[in-house]
Structures are given as structure tokens and as C-alpha cells.
Amino acid sequence: MLFCLLMKHELFSQNFAFSGQVSALHLSKIEKPWQSYTGLRYIPEIKWKQPISKTWNFDLEASANAYGQLGVILHDTLTTSLNIKPYRVWGKFSTERFELRLGLQKISFGSAAMLRPLMWFDHMDPRDPLQLTDGVYAALGRYFFQNNANIWLWGIWPGKTVKGWEILTTDRHRPEFGGRLQLPAGKGEVALSGHFRYLGADQSHGYMPMNLEKPLPEYRLGLDGKWDIGPGIWFEGTYTYSDLPAIAIKHTKMLTLGADYTFGLGNGLTAMSEQFFYQMGPEMFKSSSTLSFTALSLTYPISLTHSISGMVFYQWDTQGWYRFINWTINLNKISLHLIAFWNPDSFDLYQNTGNSNLMGGKGIQLLFVWNH
């Protein structure tokens, strides 16, 4: 009996893992009035894996996001905030080629890296070294074929706020549905994605507060592809139709074209560039609002522990420049980031990330990260 209990305990220990990430941030804006923000975040995570048959496995992941922030505007304002919320809570049934994941999870896909039209359900900011994003409560099924094709199907239970590129919130009483088919294409792959939801009648939590007479349907289509032909090249485009009254956001179109290449200079200089187009209007071929961005990213590993990277965005319609540089030191489970930025006061992209306003203007940021 004792032997059996010891064996069960050892098996549970092998399948169970506890880890976490502690991060501390300090940001100062070099402008008048002087502003500073200091934050502390902890994301504890547990993982458990258990075979349930010869072909089926069950995985469980649960994590929380606990963070506090202190903000100071010299001779003006002192703000504090403290919050804790679930970050990921999901269970997964899987075989060699199939998986079904249920719960609070991240759903992210597409070929683009910095300017992502298919940022439908996450809101990751490419300037964020931690790549944090809230999840969605969803059921996600994926099947992987032998020729590397795969198909995704999902259902999402809507939350109170917008996600991804959304301007209007989803009806709280109707789930969202969608899917994605990804196929091999020569030296790369192409994929077709689609999604359907109902816009809620009460839009008090959206970016355009209003009241609709009733929930209205919205349809999304996405097409993306990526190939390695020496340099990597990709495209990613989406079209969204919202069955709204005669206002400016019935038709939304986005397109990104991108490429990257690693040059044989020193330890290898990786350059990436993307061109992004955004159009929104009341008619299919008539736009009332447009955006156009060009992005360039450079990354160079100085040594095994030190690297430097930089991003530059140019907004063509406002002639605005966004500049970001990050010196990173990786020491086993600890990483340090010294970040400098020089941007306009507000950023027309990544409005849902929570970082856009902090990185407005000119400033520096120190970020300490410990993974245990």
C-alpha cells in the first residue's frame, strides 16, 4: 500500500509543474511636466499533464495576473492601482493530430509580426518585451493533417470590453463563432479565416458609446500567407462588414505586406519591415477614415547575453514618427531591459494594449524580469 502511494505521489510530481514570472517596471517621461510610473507584476502558473489512454492526454494550465502601479505627475497628480485577475485557465484534450482546448486562453494566428490585421482576439504590442495579452473564454478545436495542413474551429463567449481591433463590443448573450483553414503552398503556407458575431445594443463599453436598436451581425474574412524564398515574405489582409445604420464603420479593410532577412554582419543582423494599410467607411469602395504605417525592426545579438533591437514606425497621414530601442541582458532566468522611446503623444495603433499612453512622448523605461 505504501509503495503504491509513493508511486502515485511520484507520478503526480512528474506531471505537475509550478512556475511564475515576476516583473518590475519603472518609466520616466523626459518632458514637462515630469511623469513617472512604477509597477510590479506577478504571474504564477501551474501546469498539469495526465495521460488518460494510449492515445489521449489531458493538460491543465492556470495562471493569474497580479499587478500594481504608482503614477506621478510632478506638482499635479498621484495615482495608484492594484488588480488581480485570471490570466489563463484552460483544460486540453489531445491526441497526436487533434486537440480541444476549453477555458480562458489566448487565440492568436496570422503571418504578420508587427502590424497585424488578424489581431482579432489578442492585443499584443510588439514593443512589449513580455508579450502580455488578456485571453478570451473559448472552445478551440484544431486538427493537424499529415501534409501540415490544419483546421481550426472556435466558439467564444463574449466579455464586456472590446478585443483586438474591435471598436464596438459583442452582444453579451450571443457567443461568437469562427474558423481557420491553413494549407501548405510551395515553400510556405496560406490560410483563410472567418469569424461571426453580433454587436451588442448597449455600446457603453466600446470606443463609440451609443445605443443600437437591436444586436446587429458582423462578418469577418481574413487571408494570409508566408513563404521562405531566401528572405521571408508574407501578406495578411482582412475585410469586416458590420450591418450598422448609415455610419462610417460598415466596411473595414486592412492589409499588411512584410519581409525579413538576416544579414551576415558580425553575429547576424536581422531586419524586418512591414507596410500596413487601413480603410474604414460607409461603403465598400468609399473610405471616410484611412491609416498607413511603415514599420522597420532591427535586431542584433551582441553576445550570448546582450542584444539590442529597435523599431521605427512612420504614420503617413499624420507624418508622425514612433521610435523605440531596447537593450536586453539575459542572465539565466533573469532578464533586464533598458528601453528608450520617442513618440507622438498618442499612438493610433495598439489602443487596447494599455501601453500606448505610457509610451507617448519621450522617455526611458527599465524592466526587470525573473522567471522561476
DSSP 9-29: HHHHHHHEEEEEEEEEEEEEE
Report if residue 2 sits inside a domain: no
Identify the weakest region by mean pLDDT among 49-63, 72-86, 122-136, 150-164.
72-86
Chain-centre distance of CA 126, in angstroms?
8
The pLDDT assigned to 358 comes to 74
Chain-centre distance of CA 47, in angstroms?
22
3-state secondary structure 258-306: EEEEEECCCCCEEEEEEEEEEEEECECCECCEEEEEEEEEEEEECCCCE
Say whether pLDDT at 188 is over 60. yes
Which three three-digit cell numbers place residue 260?
Answer: 525579413
The pLDDT assigned to 289 comes to 78
Say whether pLDDT at 287 is over 90. no
Report if residue 125 sits inside a domain: yes
pLDDT (tens digit, 9 = 90+) per residue, 271-283?
999 999 999 888 8
Say whether pLDDT at 9 is over 80. no
Report if residue 6 sits inside a domain: no
In sequence order, the β-bridge partners of residue 19 are 45
Report if residue 263 sits inside a domain: yes
Q: According to the per-residue pLDDT averaged within each range, which of 104-108, 158-162, 342-346 is highest?
A: 104-108
% of the chain surpassing 70 pLDDT: 93
CATH code (residue 152): 2.40.160.100
DSSP 180-240: EEEEEETTEEEEEEEEEEEE-SB-TTSSS--B-SS-EEEEEEEEEEEEESSSEEEEEEEEE
* Rounded Cα distance, 277 and 292, in Å: 5
Pick the closest to residue 62 from 108, 121, 16, 13 (CA basis): 16
Say whether pLDDT at 82 is over 60. yes
Report if residue 190 sits inside a domain: yes
% of the chain surpassing 90 pLDDT: 72
* Residue 289 lies in domain: 17-371
Compare 316 and 5 and report the one with higher pLDDT. 316
The pLDDT assigned to 352 comes to 55
pLDDT (tens digit, 9 = 90+) per residue, 49-80?
999 999 999 999 999 999 998 888 776 778 88
Average pLDDT on 300-314 reads 96
Which amino acid makes up residue 73? Answer: I
Say whether pLDDT at 7 is over 60. no
* Rounded Cα distance, 7 and 23, in Å: 37
Say whether pLDDT at 370 is over 90. yes
Report if residue 5 sits inside a domain: no
Say whether pLDDT at 215 is over 80. yes
Average pLDDT on 226-240 reads 96
* Rounded Cα distance, 138 and 284, in Å: 31
Query: Contact at 8 Å (CB) between 346 and 308?
Result: no
Q: How confident is the model at residue 8 (pLDDT cuts 50, 70, 90)?
A: low
Total of domains in the chain: 1
The pLDDT assigned to 6 comes to 47
Strands 150-157 and 334-342: unpaired
Which amino acid makes up residue 329? Answer: I
In sequence order, the β-bridge partners of residue 41 are 23, 67
Q: How confident is the model at residue 300 (pLDDT cuts 50, 70, 90)?
A: very high
pTM: predicted TM-score of the whole model, two decimal places: 0.89
Identify the weakest region by mean pLDDT among 160-164, 174-178, 354-358.
354-358
Compare 2 and 18 and report the one with higher pLDDT. 18
Average pLDDT on 201-220 reads 85
Report if residue 8 sits inside a domain: no
The pLDDT assigned to 353 comes to 52
Say whether pLDDT at 121 is over 60. yes
Report if residue 4 sits inside a domain: no
* Rounded Cα distance, 295 and 88, in Å: 31
Average pLDDT on 77-86 reads 88
Say whether pLDDT at 354 is over 70. no
Indicate the average pLDDT of the chain.
Answer: 90
Identify the weakest region by mean pLDDT among 215-229, 236-250, 328-342.
236-250
> Could you tell me how many residues make up the chain?
372
Say whether pLDDT at 308 is over 50. yes
The pLDDT assigned to 286 comes to 75
**Which one-letter DSSP state was computed for residue 111?**
S
